[in-house]
Amino acid sequence: MSVVVEVLVLGFLISALYALAALGFTMIFGVAGVLNLAHGAFAMVGAYVAIGALDRGLSLPLAALVAVVGMALFAPLFYWLIVRPVERHPILVMLGTLLAAVVLEQIVGLSFSFNSQILPPLVGGSFSLLGVRVTYDRVVASAIALAVITGLWLFIHKTPQGKAILALSMERKGAALVGIPARRVILGVWAISGALAAVAGLFIASFMGISPLEERALLVIAFSIVVLGGLGSIPGSLWAAFIIGFSETVVQQVAPEAQGLASLALLMLVLTLRPQGLLGRAAA
C-alpha cells in the first residue's frame, strides 16, 4: 500500500511539473507555429533568477515572483529579437532558438556555476500518509501547479484575450478577418510561456536541483510531452504529462536504471499507432 501511495503522490507532483514545463511550449507552437528550442533554457534561467535574488537578500516568495515576472518580460523580448526576424523560416527559427539556449547556458554557468544548485523549500515539515512520509512542500507545490493549470484553462476559455488565443491557434487568417491583433496575441502567449517555464523551473530546482545544462533535459521532456499529446494541443499536453509522469514514477520504483526509457517507449508506441499524437489532428 505504501508503494502505491508513494507512486500516486510523487507521480502527481512530477506530472504537474511536466505539464507546466510543456504547456508554454505547446502554446507557442499552437499559436505562432514556432518550435522554441530555448524553452528548457527559459525554465533554467527562471530558476537561476530566483537563486540570484535569494543571494541578494530577497525572501523566497519575493524571489520566485521576480523570477516569474522577469521571464514573462524576457520571453516576448526573446521573440522580438531572435524569432520574429526569421519566423517565416522554421529551420532558422529552430537553429536560432537552439543557439540562444546554448548561449544562455554559458552565461548562467559563468555567472553562477555549472554545478547543480537547489532552491530551499517553500514550507518545512512533513506528515505521514498511510505509512509514506509526505513533505508539506510537495503538497504546496502540487496545489500551486494545479492552480496555475486551472487558472490558465479558465483564462483561455473564459476571457476575451484567451478566446483570441484559441481563435488564432485554430485559424490565423480567420482571426485576422475578425480584427484579432495577431502580433499582440503572440507576444502575450510568449509572456505566458515564459512565466509557466519559470514556475516549472522553480519547482524543479526545489525538488531535484538544477544546473545550467539541465535545460537540455527539460527541453527533451517538454518536447516528448508535446509530441505525445499532439502538437499544439493543450489538453493533449496535459494528458501526456500525466501519462509520462506516472509512468516514470512507476518505473523508478521497479527499475530505477530504466526510468528514462519509459517515456521513450510510450512515445514510440503512440506515434506508431497514432502519428498525430493523442489529441492531435490528423493531416488532411
User: Residue 10: pLDDT above 80?
Assistant: no
* Phi-psi category of residue 115: left, alpha or beta, with phi > 0 → left and psi -120 to 50 → alpha: beta
Over residues 35-80, the pLDDT tens digits come to 899 999 999 999 999 999 999 989 999 999 999 999 999 999 999 9
Q: What is the pLDDT of residue 284?
A: 42
> What is the reported pTM?
0.87
Q: 273 near 54, Cβ under 8 Å? A: no
User: Residue 162: pLDDT above 90?
Assistant: no
Q: What is the pLDDT of residue 236?
A: 82
In this structure, what C-alpha cell is assigned to residue 112?
Answer: 553562477
- Report residue 51: phi and psi, to 5°: -60, -45
User: Residue 283: pLDDT above 60?
Assistant: no
What's the pLDDT band for 1 if we cut at 50, 70, 90?
A: low
Q: What is the pLDDT of residue 156?
A: 87
Over residues 75-133, the pLDDT tens digits come to 999 999 999 999 889 899 999 999 999 999 999 999 988 888 888 887 777 777 766 67
The string of DSSP letters for 21-68 reads: HHHHHHHHHHHH----TTHHHHHHHHHHHHHHHHHTT--HHHHHHHHH
Q: What is the mean pLDDT of residues 140-161?
A: 87
Q: What is the pLDDT of residue 8?
A: 78
Residue 232: strand, helix, or coil: coil
Q: What is the mean pLDDT of residues 147-151?
A: 89
In this structure, what C-alpha cell is assigned to residue 131?
Answer: 505509512
Q: What is the pLDDT of residue 264?
A: 73
- Output the 3-class SS for 190-222: HHHHHHHHHHHHHHHHHHCCECHHHHHHHHHHH
Does the CA dihedral 239-195-83-185 come out positive or negative? Answer: positive
Q: What is the pLDDT of residue 258?
A: 62
For the chain, counts of helices (H) and of strands (E): 11, 2
In this structure, what C-alpha cell is assigned to residue 77?
Answer: 523580448
Q: What is the pLDDT of residue 281?
A: 57
Q: What is the pLDDT of residue 257?
A: 63
Over residues 210-261, the pLDDT tens digits come to 888 888 878 888 888 888 887 767 788 888 888 888 887 887 777 666 666 7
